[in-house]
Amino acid sequence: MSSVNTEAYEVFRDGWGVPHLRASDPLRLSYAQGRVTAVDRAWQLEVERHRAQGSSAAFLGAECVPWDRFARQARLDDTARRCYEALDPGTAAWVRAYVDGVNAGLAEGAARDERFARTGHTPAPWQPWVPLSVWVATHILFAGFATKLWRERVARALGDGAATLFATDGPGTAGSNGWLVPGERTASGAAIIAGDPHRFIEDPGVYQQIRLACPEYDVLGLAVPGVPGLGHFGHTGSAAWAITNAMSDYQDLYAERLRPAPDGDGVEALGPDGGWEPVARHTETITVAGGPDVEVEVLETARGPVIIRPEAPQAAEAAEAEAGDEADTEADAPQTLSLRYPPRVRADLGFAALPALLRARTVADIDRALDGWAEPVNVVHAADTEGGLLHRVAGAVPLRDPANRLRPVPAWESAHAWRGWAPTPAEPVQGFAVMANARGIASPLGVEFAPPHRADRIRELLSGSADWTPEAMAGIHADTFLASAGPLLALLPGLDGLSPAAAALRTRLLSWDRHMAAGSTDATVFAAFRTATVRRFAADPVFAGLAGAPEGPEVFHPWLHLLPKIGYALEGLLGTALLPGLDRAAHVRAALEETAASAAPEAAWARVHRLTPWQALPGADAPEPPDAADAADAADTADTADDWPGLGGDHDCVNATSSVPGFTDRFARASAARYVWDLADRDSSLWVVPLGADGVTGSPHHLDQLPLWARCELVPVVTDWSLLTKESA
């Protein structure tokens, strides 16, 4: 039974179905946010809760077992519970009110969505810490610790000096664009903040447009469904903020030496002092719909939970125990790896910052709130109506040996222990500030960053005007210039001995404007040429040691396949001196000839560059996604079409619709929302999400924003209560 007076709130909707909530105090408002989210997105909330708990296979089937196993081994839900128990009383009550609201709305929400009946799944009441569990599960892979597995593989195949050879913003990374234009460069004289987070596009969408109003504050922004408040993007009327992924490295993998305990009961790990330490150990069971249960052994050393353990570990542990403390392992032997991540170490997810952000009136208020931010590590832009501006990093990054950032490190060496927390950089805003995951303000905290192309292009476009308006920002969101095409095209003039068809293709590509525009056939031809180049590089013997199928847990395989790694790192591979045996010119020539000789008909880029969102279970009105064969052939098939739209853009464009070069021209990663926060007049602000405000398939507001989003158009923010429609109780 809720402790909140549930009658003291109201729900309004705008023309797009976006909920505007008004309550008499913050607790009732948090309750209202939870309840309306459950009514609109019950299916999504249940999927996210079960993913966080490692129990999604119970109603979604065996394909979810790899993630469920990882979630349990990484102790995600247990970490969230610890963080909840460490909250201050006020924040804990605020989170509980949200959970009470979710529990009050789940039954109504489930009745609206046929996927519950289709799977036979019935929602169960949320525990108070579930919002924290959803948060940690959503962000556990943001820092890309799995990239350390790839660097280890590269170092073993090509040498230690090549460990960062493939450094780039890859498919497993969450990025964003963001820009802050001060008042002296806007038509109104007040600052504008704009941008778009890049995430895998999911159905329902990963961001929820919402407004939260009570006597203490009136804030609108983009919420993470299942989590109270507006952590990433918000506008309070007098102040606004937005974030991008800082690309910081704050999670470590430790190679562990394990052995059976001498008394035969339990497991021990070799610690940094040379002694053997007890390892927490228990077994959990994953229930699988339509299949047998799966048992999972959960181990945790003093460093953290063990997330990778080679097959047949008992024999290896016994051999290591016989060898004693000085035991060593073969250089290429599979490693047992534990994961150390700040929320588990500190019992802190930074949730106290969420209600503090809602109360912010100035940039100084936002800055103070973000001093308590923890996970994930973000670059932040903020501005207020008094002219205040902010550009800083927020989050928890441990101080430790630089080697920790690159690859798994020995748990038994004390040099790799954490030694406190790094300061978070800030810098003044001069001219305008841009954040696009490239090197910059967060450089001291990371290893791999996005190429500079998106950031440079945004700066170039912003420099073209000194009287920016919110409406004009859509042109930046929509930009399709692909600067990363330059290094590949630069090799073409030096090629000799080309066939007439290849020579003609070279002329065509060199005259192309390098825009991945939706209607461009030249963009499609370039993509086909790039695909052929990537595939030829991947087949080169120099990469033979990386060409095999990935080993270890399936959840990390997206970081470990050679072909997409080459696709995203192609620009760097074209110029590196670390691969003297790679005949780049020969591969580019062969790819050009192959593309010229292909019989593929001319097609606009949007015909093959089509959205394929992730769906836990497709809904009744959702188009069928392509199968793997269709996806692999998409670059060569002009007639491929389905109901999801085709778009312009590409991975390194500001309009970052990210396919996987070399594998498919379809894309699943793009702008998960777009926003323009106007500090002159909040009602002049704009926003859009990829699908719609309602998570229920077939509802009027499930897909109504999709056509606008596809055209990079945004819808107006509406805050006048008289222009909204009040819902009946």
Report the alpha-carbon distance of residue 112 to residue 94 in Å, rounded. Answer: 27
pTM (predicted TM-score): 0.93
Q: What is the pLDDT of residues 69-107, one digit of tens each?
A: 999 999 999 999 999 999 999 999 999 999 999 999 999
Strand order in the sheet with 336-340: 306-308, 336-340, 252-256, 409-410
Q: What is the pLDDT of residues 189-213, one digit of tens each?
A: 999 999 999 999 999 999 999 999 9
Which residues contact residue 92 at a Cβ distance below 8 angstroms, ignoring those fewer than 6 apart? 84, 128
Report the alpha-carbon distance of residue 600 to residue 554 in Å, rounded. Answer: 34
Nearest of 402, 382, 391 to residue 445 by alpha carbon: 402
Report the alpha-carbon distance of residue 28 to residue 413 in Å, rounded. Answer: 51
Exposure of 380 by Cβ count < 10 A (0-12 exposed, 13-18 middle, 19+ buried)?
A: buried
Report the alpha-carbon distance of residue 458 to residue 406 in Å, rounded. Answer: 30
Report the alpha-carbon distance of residue 330 to residue 318 in Å, rounded. Answer: 16
Q: Which token pair is 40?
A: 């609109």
Per-residue pLDDT, averaged over 556-567, amounts to 94
Q: Which token pair is 13?
A: 């909707």
Nearest of 224, 247, 226, 231 to residue 176 by alpha carbon: 247
CATH number for the region 483-671 comes to: 1.10.1400.10
CATH T-level fold of 170-249+350-473: Glutamine Phosphoribosylpyrophosphate, subunit 1, domain 1 (3.60.20)
CA atoms within 13 A on the CB side of 577: 0
Does the structure show a pLDDT above 80 at 33?
A: yes
Does the structure show a pLDDT above 50 at 327?
A: no
Vertex 563, ends 560 and 567: CA angle to 5°?
Answer: 110
Does the structure show a pLDDT above 80 at 3?
A: no
Q: How confident is the model at residue 643 (pLDDT cuts 50, 70, 90)?
A: confident
Q: What is the pLDDT of residues 269-298, one digit of tens each?
A: 999 989 999 999 999 999 999 999 999 999
Domain boundaries, the chain: 170-249+350-473, 252-340, 483-671
The reported pLDDT for the residue numbered 331 is: 54
Q: How confident is the model at residue 729 (pLDDT cuts 50, 70, 90)?
A: low
613 three-class SS: coil
Does the structure show a pLDDT above 50 at 646?
A: yes
Vertex 689, ends 349 and 517: CA angle to 5°?
Answer: 120
The CATH-assigned architecture of domain 252-340 is Roll (2.30)
Q: Which token pair is 134?
A: 């959803």
Report the alpha-carbon distance of residue 86 to residue 575 in Å, rounded. Answer: 50
